[in-house]
Amino acid sequence: MWLCHMISCMAGLCFDMYGTLCDTSSVRARLGEVLDVPDRLVAAVDETWRRKQLQYSYQSAQMDDYEPFWTVTSHALDYALAAYDLDPDAEARDRIRDAYDHLEPFPGAVEALTRLSEAGHDVVVLSNGDPAMLERLAANAGLAPHLDDVLSADAVRTFKPDPAVYEHAAEALDRPLDDCRLISSNAWDVAGAGNAGMATSWVNRSRDPPETIGARPDREVSTLPAVADDLS
């Protein structure tokens, strides 16, 4: 009876990649290195790039005009550069985009994935990134050996927080939605997964308030090792 109870506690744990497992702050450093402009301008370009990256992914999904996340990211970069009258050549733009392949994992990322896997959970990435992006980053960041799979929204040709993405993860894990848990630092992602029927853990490093629309997080922590403390 006790063993059956323990097995039922094992879940499919779906980690967001960008901003949750891996720190995107190094993208700003790459922009500064390549563009060689004042820090204030680098910050403005970086913020515009990220804002447009999210906007274009939502827009693409709403317009039913899907493009892979790498393409969306490229369009967003082009917009951000044009917005500040910057026109680096194609090689420079490639160097900037390449930063997304070489992000550093957050402290405790490998430890958390390892502990959760050893506890018997299925541990996967679930990201808007397209498969090639995610595979490169997982390998470069040293996360790949600690993951059971890397799942991409590309499989259903839309983006989180569309319920189809979370449903795809449950199907890939061969589990009901309520036996899967999203772990993300993005409050909008947590709200979307909760609305779709997943359990959720919010890695709230900035102590932000939860979203005021969509489901509230089931659990809230401030670090990745705290996720493992909570679920192992």
Task: Count how many domains the chain has.
Answer: 2
The number of helix segments (H) and strand segments (E) in the chain equals 10, 8
Is 16 in the active site?
yes
Across the strands, what pairs with 226? Answer: none
Q: To 10 degrees, the CA torsion angle through 184, 189, 194, 198?
A: -60
pLDDT at 32 over 80: yes
Instruction: Tell me what the mean pLDDT of segment 13-33 comes to.
Output: 97
Are residues 164 and 183 located together in one domain of the fold? yes
Are residues 93 and 107 located together in one domain of the fold? no
Examine the fold and report which residue of 48, 69, 101 is the final residue of a domain before the chain moves on.
101
The single-letter DSSP state of residue 208 is P
Which residues touch 112 (CB under 8 Å, ≥6 apart)? 224, 225, 227, 228
Examine the fold and report which residue of 101, 129, 148 is the final residue of a domain before the chain moves on.
101
Q: What's the pTM?
A: 0.93
Are residues 78 and 120 located together in one domain of the fold? no
Are residues 73 and 177 located together in one domain of the fold? no
Q: pLDDT (tens digit, 9 = 90+) per residue, 135-182? A: 999 999 999 999 999 999 999 999 999 999 999 999 999 999 999 999
Kindly report the CATH number assigned to the domain that includes residue 67. Answer: 1.10.150.240
The pLDDT score that the predictor gives to residue 232 is 83
Are residues 110 and 7 located together in one domain of the fold? yes
Kindly report each contact of residues 75-79 with a partner whose C-beta sits within 8 Å and lies 24 or more positions away, as own/partner.
Answer: 76/49, 76/50, 76/52, 77/49, 79/48, 79/49, 79/52
Band (pLDDT 50/70/90 cuts) for residue 120 is very high
Q: pLDDT (tens digit, 9 = 90+) per residue, 55-111? A: 999 999 999 999 999 999 999 999 999 999 999 999 999 999 999 999 999 999 999
pLDDT at 1 over 80: no
- Distance CA(202)–CA(215), nearest Å, equals 12
The pLDDT score that the predictor gives to residue 8 is 37
* Percent of the chain topping pLDDT 90: 94
Domain region containing 81: 26-101
Are residues 32 and 141 located together in one domain of the fold? no
The pLDDT score that the predictor gives to residue 114 is 97
Q: Find how far residue 26's CA is from the centre of its chain.
A: 15
Burial of 77 (0-12, 13-18, 19+ CB in 10 A): buried
The pLDDT score that the predictor gives to residue 10 is 79
Tokens of 64: 């039913």
Q: Is there a contact between 219 and 193 (Cβ–Cβ < 8 Å)?
A: no
Are residues 133 and 204 located together in one domain of the fold? yes
Q: Is there a contact between 171 and 153 (Cβ–Cβ < 8 Å)?
A: no
Please identify which of the residues 16, 23, 46, 122 carries the catalytic annotation: 16
The pLDDT score that the predictor gives to residue 9 is 64
